[in-house]
Amino acid sequence: MSRFLNRQYESLEPYTPGEQPKTEGLIKLNTNENPYGPSPKVLEVLNQTEISKLMLYPDPEVSVLVQAIADYYQLETEQVMVGNGSDEILAFSFMAFQNENRDIYFPEPSYGFYKVYGDIFRAKCHPIPLKEDLSIDTKKYKNLQGTIIIANPGAPTGIALNLADIEDILKSNGSNLVIIDEAYIDFGAKSCVPFLQKYDNLLVVQTFSKSRSLAGARVGFAMGSRELISDLNRIKFSFNPYNLNRLSILAAAEAIKDDAYFQKTREAIIRTRQEIAEQMRALGFTVLPSSANFIFAKSDRLSGKEYFDGLRKRKILVRHFEKDPVSDFVRITIGKEDDMKELLNITRELLEAKDSKDLLERTEV
Ligand SMILES: *Cc1c(COP(=O)(O)O)cnc(C)c1O
């Protein structure tokens, strides 16, 4: 820490991203990337001609992409804004709507960035514990005094909310902003975008990182009332008007237009998820009902840490959160079928190794 750091940030605890391994040969199931890669249309559009235009600034309005998203969701272009990943959209939202006099409510555990942004933009955070079954306790979100932010499907559980429950939250919080983070919405849950017609306190945030296979391009977007979107643009144009680079704009616009590829890859991930969940349950795992591109699972035989470490040694990377009430779980991204077969094989070996170790210990006693 230098002597120049703003005192306000001395105790700031930054977000911990999942590991991006530098070595080859690992099966990477730890950061919910899409195993299928971007649409072939994306590969086509990122050509020499476009690369040779990189000396030019990108369109600060990002019109091509905003239009493509508005078309997809049948919204006005004034109801859409894009950001450098949905993380940036979330940061702009906190900048625009939070301060020391407006608190923020979110489930705990949830996406780690909510607390980090709360801290950096000086909003008092109120984490609301999950229910015993790790679903969100929607009753606790009625008539609050501050902004509400909820991931649907939930992170890191993958559990989806009912639209009726979200609508109740919107209705009972008419004077509060409600942000629904739909990073995983395309893997089986229902979007609350249609509620934008009725509720001006709703902001929906989505990303191209998961269902559109563009995590490396950094593209996220917000949908809301014209007024909310104009507030976000006020921040964006005061902070980083060229927030999306030329190539990412083109890539994302092609990705959202290629519906056939989107449907095919999304369905493959959903199918693989259902298979792996079933097979893990057969091995004695508790697997939460997931509507995302990952499963959240715990073994009755291995602790979360043991399972994580065992997989890591065998070159499979998953995510483990060292905090209650989820420390016994690991989060496993849905990869290609072969990767999931390997995961299952190694999981069986780890369970067998644990069994024989236990047996040995018992005979020693
Ligand atoms: C992945 C993720 C994001 C961030 O996505 P980017 O668009 O890559 O910044 C936001 N919220 C949740 C819940 C996520 O899982």
Does ligand 1 come within 6 angstroms of the Cβ of 155? yes
How many CA atoms within 13 Å lie on the side-chain side of 149?
Answer: 28
- Whole-number pLDDT of residue 4: 96
Rounded to the nearest integer, the mean pLDDT of the chain is: 96
Given 240, 258, 276, the domain boundary residue is 258
Q: Name the residue at shortest CA distance from atom 11 of ligand 1.
A: 183
For the entire predicted model, the pTM comes to 0.96
Q: What end-to-end distance do the CA atoms of the chain give, in Å?
A: 52
Q: What is the DSSP string of 181-245?
A: E-TTGGGT----GGGGGT-TTEEEEEESSSTTS-GGG--EEEE--HHHHHHHHHHHHHH-TT-S-
Q: Relative to the CA of 151, which ligand 1 atom is closest? A: 13
What mean pLDDT is predicted for residues 110-131?
95
Residue 104 pLDDT greater than 80, yes or no: yes
- Model confidence pLDDT, tens digit, residues 282-314: 999 999 999 999 999 999 999 999 999 999 999
Residue 65 pLDDT greater than 70, yes or no: yes
Instruction: Please report which confidence band the pLDDT of residue 357 belongs to, taking 50, 70 and 90 as the band edges.
Output: confident
Together in a domain, 55 and 28 = no
Q: What angle do CA 224, 226, 232 make, to 5 degrees?
A: 70
Residue 131 pLDDT greater than 80, yes or no: yes
Let me know if residue 104 belongs to a domain: yes
Let me know if residue 296 belongs to a domain: yes
Together in a domain, 25 and 86 = no
Let me know if residue 1 belongs to a domain: no
What mean pLDDT is predicted for residues 99-119?
96
CATH number of the domain that 298 lies in? 3.90.1150.10
Residue 322 pLDDT greater than 70, yes or no: yes
Counting ligand 1 atoms within 8 A of each CB, the residue from 87, 203, 291 with the most, and so the one to mutate, is: 87
Does ligand 1 come within 6 angstroms of the Cβ of 181? yes
Going from the C-alpha of 118 to that of each of 97, 123, 145, 201, 268, the distances in angstroms are 11, 5, 15, 19, 36
- Whole-number pLDDT of residue 265: 98
Count of structural domains within the chain: 2
Range of the domain at 139: 40-258
Given 194, 228, 258, the domain boundary residue is 258
- Whole-number pLDDT of residue 365: 62
**Cα–Cα distance measured from residue 250 to residue 43, given in angstroms and rounded to the nearest whole number:** 10
Q: Relative to the CA of 210, which ligand 1 atom is closest? A: 1
Q: Name the residue at shortest CA distance from atom 15 of ligand 1.
A: 183
CATH number of the domain that 102 lies in? 3.40.640.10
